[in-house]
Every structure is written in C-alpha cells, then in structure tokens.
Chain A
C-alpha cells in the first residue's frame, strides 16, 4: 500500500538557518505530493503541492521538488524564522486509493531566535 516516510524530529535550528526536511514515499501509479503545516492548537494547512514529476511546489519561501527517480519530496527553506516553528507533514494522494491522503508521521521544527 501507499506510505510516506519523514525524517524524525524535532529539528532545532537558529533563525536564518537553512532547513531541509526529508520525505520519501511508496505509491502505485503517479501520486500528487503535498506538504502540510500544523501550528499548535490548529488544523492542518496546505503549504505546497506538486502533481507530477519534476514539478516544484513553493509557498512562503518553502520549496519542494517532486523527484520520481528517488521517490522523494524534500522540503527546503533558505532562511527560517521563529514563526516557522510548527509540525510539518508530507502526504501523498493516489488516485488508486480513492482520493484519500496518506500522511507521514510529521516532523516538528523548532526555530530559536
């Protein structure tokens, strides 16, 4: 079945540091890939997406590139801020799976001033 594996956290960085959160997946067919962010006490918010190989999703300084050859969708940001502290979830949506999202376990990011 479909699965998503993320690097375990927490990831602790100083403000303005470079961020990478690794995400790899296993899926049948050609899934769409997503990154969601969850701030404390809130629901999940869509951060960015990519629907086909080599697509780059970007939003709020975050980027991720759909790499079919390595089945990866790593999240990057060049300079993190304290306000980026949250839990980040990688997810895939496979058409064969009835449109449901399959999530990774989440990675907590803590950014210190």
Chain B
C-alpha cells in the first residue's frame, strides 16, 4: 500500500478558473477527509465521507466548493471561480471505521491563485 496519494502536488491557476484535485485513500479505509491549511496555520476541516456518502461539511466550504466520492474509493475536490483567498494547501486523509488512531494524511496539493 502506498498510503494516501494526492494529485497534483502543485497547481497554479488564474483567478476565476476552476480547479479539481484528486485523492486516492488507503484502499481499506472507508472514511475520507479534506482539510485546508494556510501558511503558518493548522489544518481546517472541510468535509468528510464515509464510503460514498458525504456526511459532514464545514461552514468554510462555500458554494464554490464541491467534493465527491462516487464509488467510495477516490475523491475529487473542485473549486469553481477560484479567488486569491483559496490559495492554500489542500490535504486529504483517510481512516478506517472504529480505528482509534489518527488519520493517514496525503502530502497535499498546494494551490496558488494568481
């Protein structure tokens, strides 16, 4: 198992463009989480899936953000009409139900909106 994979590692986009990120969790993990981390801050929760169901969304997740996990495996996070304030590291993590441990995080996708 190669852990949690995120693609791309870096994305530079112009303001107003749409971007999509992908996360491949650890295969036996049924829970998947998206977090956002801005420079010098701790990660902030965005949304959470159990299998294909999106069970929780943060108020940070504006209408321009949408996340999917269509088959309960990989997930995508799309940001429409990007703004400069969207520039951040987007982290994906996965865990198994009932697991007492913390999550396994991916290396993140760094988004820069110019």
B2 located at the interface, meaning its Cβ lies under 8 Å from any Cβ of chain A in the complex: no
Interface contact B41-A106, CB-CB below 8 Å:
yes
Q: In the complex, A100 Cα to B95 Cα: how many Å? A: 11
Complex Cα distance A80/B43, Å?
A: 25
Minimal Cβ-Cβ distance residue in B for A48? B102
Chain B residues with Cβ under 8 A from A75's Cβ?
none
State the CA gap A49–B43 with chains docked (Å): 18
Which B residues lie at the A interface, using CB under 8 A?
4, 31, 33, 35, 40-45, 48, 55-56, 91, 93, 95, 100-108
A49 to B103, CA, bound (A): 11
The dominant DSSP class at the A interface is strand
Task: Give 1 or 0 for each of A91-109: 1 = CB within 8 Å of chain B CB.
Answer: 1010000111111111000
Given contact pairs A42-B107, A100-B48, A51 touches B42 in the complex (Cβ within 8 A): no
A41: chain B residues at CB < 8 Å are: 107
How many A residues touch the partner, as a band? Answer: 20 to 34
Known A93-B102, A100-B56; contact A43-B108, beta-carbon cutoff 8 A? yes
In the assembled complex, the CB of A66 is this many whole angstroms from the nearest CB of chain B, namely 13
Inter-chain contacts of B93 with A (CB < 8 A)? 44
Contact A44 B43 (CB under 8 A): yes
A32 and B107: CB pair below 8 A? Answer: no
Residues of B within 8 A of A106 (CB): 40-42
Query: Do residues B56 and A49 form an inter-chain contact, with CB atoms below 8 A?
Result: no
